Each structure stands twice: as C-alpha cells, then as structure tokens.
Structure 1
Amino acid sequence: MSAIELNNVDISYGDSKVVHGVNLDIAEGESFALVGESGSGKSTILRAIAGLAPDWTGGISVLGRPRTHGIERRVARQVQMVFQDPYGSLHPRKTIDAALSEPLAINGVGNRGERVAAMLMAVGLDQRFRFRFPHQLSGGQRQRVAIARALMLEPKVLLLDEPTSALDVSVQAEILNLLKRLRREQGLTYLLVTHNLPVVSFLCDRLAVMRHGRIVEVADVALLKQGKLVEAYSQELLAATEGIVLVGTPS
C-alpha cells in the first residue's frame, strides 16, 4: 500500500503558485527524499501533506485514504512532522515531560508517564532530561526530543524537514543514525526534505529532484551513489556536493 500519494498537486500561497503538477507514490516503509535548491517547493509539499498549507488542488492520500485541506485528527495520528530548528519547534517554557505528554493528553491517551519514559529511552536520552527545559539541552538533544514528540502517538509516517541542517556535522551523524534505527525498529515511512545529497545516500531508498516547484527526476538512491542521475540539474546538484562526507556514518 502507498503511504503517501500525490496526484497532480498544485500548491499556492495566496496568488502565488509554488508547486506545479506534482505526482508522487511513496510505498509504506520506504524512505523517500525531496531534494533541490531553496525555494523549489520541497517543504511546501510536506506542509500540504501535514495540513499546514491548505491551498492546494489535485489529490493527496495518506495510507490509502484521501485527505482534506485542513487539519485532520486522523491524519495527525498517522503522520507527524519533525522541523529543521529543534529549538524553535519546542516551547521554551515547557519541560521535556510536558512537551512529550501534550500530544497524549490532546488525544486522550493514558499511561503518559510510562510512555514518556519509554520514548526518551528510544531516542537515546536518559530520565535526567525529563524535567529540563529546551534551553538546558544541546542542539542534538533538542532534536532527539523533537523526534520523540513526533513519535508519541505511534505514527506510521514521519515528515522530516531538514532535520539535521541546524546541527553540527558530528551531531548530524548521530541524529541520522537514530532515524535509521527508528525506521527499522518501528517500520516507519520517511519523507525527507533536504539539499544534502550525502544525507539522502545514507538514509533514503529513492529521491525526487525538484526545481521551480516541479519534479524533474525520480531515481533510486543507487543511481545517486553511482553519480548517474540523468537530468542536467540533478548533475549540477551532484557536482555541488561532491566531496562532502557525513562524519560517523558509512561513506
């Protein structure tokens, strides 16, 4: 079954159309990347899937069911988003315990204390972090909390919007290894937005290259690793990232 399906999707902000005729079919359990330069429409697609960019036409389906244009509780239980800036995405005046408990409270889920403790362990944080505030954590620790919060409702799909770009290179590698392990252990589907092709090589199965709001190429990551992407713009992206290696991950 498809985890995410987009059929001829256009997305607008006011009078400006920023995504044009996008078609995607991402299988359940797949890790898929959207790559391209800033402003190419990558993050806008994530926002539309999550219900944060409601001005779209075409069709968007999540786990086999069409979604509407607004926030849907059903979709929120199945699809969660991890944002680029882990400090900006966490409330500065709420403890980590409060941040992780909030989605459980909103959805009437019990055993909150046990679930919070278990999720902290799952993302590699011990219990001493539980009652700290975001400013008391490092960038990597904050992003682990953001990932934990996204997983509290046991979603099947994670939308990852540049989840490591605000972190130091060595910390990036730790978060990527964590995401890879969580996908394997929990059977997650990932849709990743990034401009970093080494990240795609490490974490993903397939990628779509976007330019000016359109998909110009869809390819297996094996072709990316071999430097055999077809389109001229895809080759430009490859040339721009040549020589970049992720510290702490297989090259």
Structure 2
Amino acid sequence: MSAISLKNLDISYGTTKVVQGVNIEVAEGESFALVGESGSGKSTVLKAIAGLAPDWTGEISLLGAPRGHKVDHDFATRCQMVFQDPYGSLHPRKSVDTVLSEPLMIHGLGNRNARVIDMLAAVGLDQRFRFRFPHQMSGGQRQRVAIARALMLEPKVMLLDEPTSALDVSVQAEILNLLKRLRREQGLTYLMVTHNLPVVSFMCDRMAVMNKGRVVEIAPATALHDGSFTDPYTQTLYAASGGNPKYKETL
C-alpha cells in the first residue's frame, strides 16, 4: 500500500491551473522529494494534500484512504505538515506548551503533560523551553517546536515544505539530521519540497522533478551521484548544481 497516492492531480487558484496531471506514488516509510524552480507547483501539491488548496481534481489518497475536499479530522491523525518559515508558523502569543497541547485538546487526547514533555525531548529540546514564547527562541528552536507540533498526533505521513531554507546553514544540518532520525525511529513517510539538490541527496530515496506545474521526471536520488537523468530540464538543474551534490552529515 502506498503512503501517498496522487493520480491525475490538477490544482487551480481561481481560473488559473497551476498543477496539471501529477501522478506520484510514495511508499510507506519512503522519503520522497518534489524539486524544481520557484513557481513550479511543488508547494501547491503539498497544500492540496494538506487541505490548504481545495480547488483540485483527480485523486489524493493517504495510507489507502481517499482525501476529500472538506476538513477531515481523521486525516490530521494520519498526516501533518511542517512549513518553511519557523517565524511565521507559530503563534507569537502562544507558549510552546499551548502550541503542543492544542492538537491533543482538539482531538480529545489525554495525558497531555507527559506527551508534551516526551515530544520536546524527541526533538532535542528540554523542559526549559516548554513555557517559552516564539520570540524567546532561535529559528532552529522554533522549527524544532513546529516539528514537535506536527508529531503530537503521531501521524505516519509528514509533508515538509522547505523545512530548512529559512535557517542558517549550520542550523539546517541540525534540523535535517533530526528529521532523518525521527523518520527512522518513528517509521515516518516524508514528502519533502525543496529546490536544494544536496538536501535531496542527503534525505531522500526518490525525487520527482516539476517544471511549470507538471512532473517531467521521477528518478532515484542516486541519480544525483551519477547524473543518470533523462529529461533535459532535469539535466539542466543537475548541471546548475555543479553535479554530484552532497550534503555532509554533521551530527
């Protein structure tokens, strides 16, 4: 069974169709990347899956269950999203404790104190951060909180929209290593949007290359080491990266 299945997916904003005919299958436990230039439609695909871009046609399935166009509380327990900007994705007037407790309250889950403490530990933050506000934390710490929030309902699928692009390079490595560890420990499936090919090489098993709203090629991440791409646009992206891009693990 696929963790994520997209079939003939078209997505529009008003009268403008921005994604056309996307077909992707992501296996359970896989880390899959959507890559391409800005405006290629890759983040829009994540938003449609998450329910943030409701004007779509085709089929979206998560863990064998079809995704409808309406708000689906059960969907939130299966799939969560981490956004690009750790400065904008957290409410400035809510403490970390409130941010992490809210999903549990909405879904009627108990044992909140222990769950919050355990999740902070899982993302590498101790209890000192529990009652801090976003302005009292660094960008990397905020993104750790955002990841913790996404994991509070124990989903099996994570949508990652450029989760490190707003961070300093040294902090990027820490967050990528954290995501890699969490995937291994919790059996997560990742669908990651990025324009950074070294991140794909470090984090992902396969990649789909998007250009002007369409998937032009699906390839294993190992192609980033040997350049075995077939589509001219993908070959151009690969050449622009300098060839054989690598992201060095630092932790």
The answer to whether the superposition gives a TM-score over 0.5 is: yes
* 1:105 paired residue number: 105
CA distance, structure 1, for counterparts of residue 165 and residue 106 of structure 2: 30
1:247: Cα distance to partner?
Answer: 5.3
Report what 2:28 is aligned to. Answer: 28
Code of the residue aligned with 2:141 in structure 1: it is Q
Query: What's the CA shift for 1:240?
Result: 1.9
Aligned equivalents of 2:65 and 2:212: distance in 1? Answer: 28
Moved more, 221-230 or 155-164: 221-230
Shift of 1:189: 0.2
Question: For 1:201 and 1:9, how far apart are their aligned partners in 2?
Answer: 26
Using the TM superposition, give the Cα deviation of residue 56 of structure 1 relative to its aligned residue in structure 2, in angstroms: 0.5
Whole-Å Cα distance in 1 between the matches of residues 145 and 229 of structure 2? 35
- Letter matched to residue 136 of structure 1: Q
* Regions of 4+ moved over 6 Å: none
Q: If the length of structure 2 is used for normalisation, what is the TM-score?
A: 0.97
Q: In structure 2, how many angstroms separate the alpha carbons of the residues matched to 1:109 and 1:221?
A: 38
**What amino acid does structure 2 have at the position aligned with 1:160?**
L
Q: Structure 2 counterpart of 1:155, which letter?
A: P
- What is the 5 A alignment of 1:77-88? 77-88=77-88
| Conserved 8 A contact 1:169-1:247 | no
Contact 1:95 1:133 in 2 (8 A): yes
Residue 93 of structure 1 aligns with an amino acid whose one-letter code is R
Count of residue pairs brought into register by the alignment = 250
Q: Are the counterparts in 2 of residues 81 and 159 from structure 1 also a CA contact under 8 Å? A: yes
1:155 equivalent in alignment to 2:155: yes
Give me the whole-angstrom Cα distance separating, in 2, the residues matched to 1:144 and 1:242. Answer: 31
Give yes or no for contact 1:52–1:71 (8 Å, CA) kept in 2: no
Match of 2:9 in 1: 9
What are the Cα deviations for residues 72-123 of structure 1, in whole angstroms up to 9, with x where unaligned?
A: 1111110000000011000000000100000000000100010000000000
Unpaired runs of 5+ in structure 2?
none
- Structure 1 gaps, min length 5: none
Q: How much is the aligned-residue C-alpha RMSD, in angstroms? A: 1.2
Name the aligned partner's letter for residue 119 of structure 1. M
Q: Name the CA distance, whole Å, in 1 between partners of 2:246 and 2:24.
A: 29
Which residue in 2 is equivalent to 1:131?
Answer: 131
The question of whether the paired residues in 1 share the 8 Å contact of 2:44 and 2:53 is answered with yes
- 8 A Cα contact 1:52 1:70, kept in partner: no
**Is 1:212 the equivalent of 2:208?**
no
Instruction: Using the TM superposition, name which of 152-161 and 62-71 deviates more.
Output: 62-71
Code of the aligned partner of 2:139: G
Quote the offset at 1:70 in angstroms. Answer: 2.2
Q: Which residue of 2 aligns with 1:231?
A: 231
Decide whether the 8 Å contact of 2:158 with 2:190 is kept in 1.
yes
Matched to 2:71, the amino acid is I
Paired position in structure 2 for 1:91: 91
Residue of structure 2 in register with 1:72 after alignment: 72
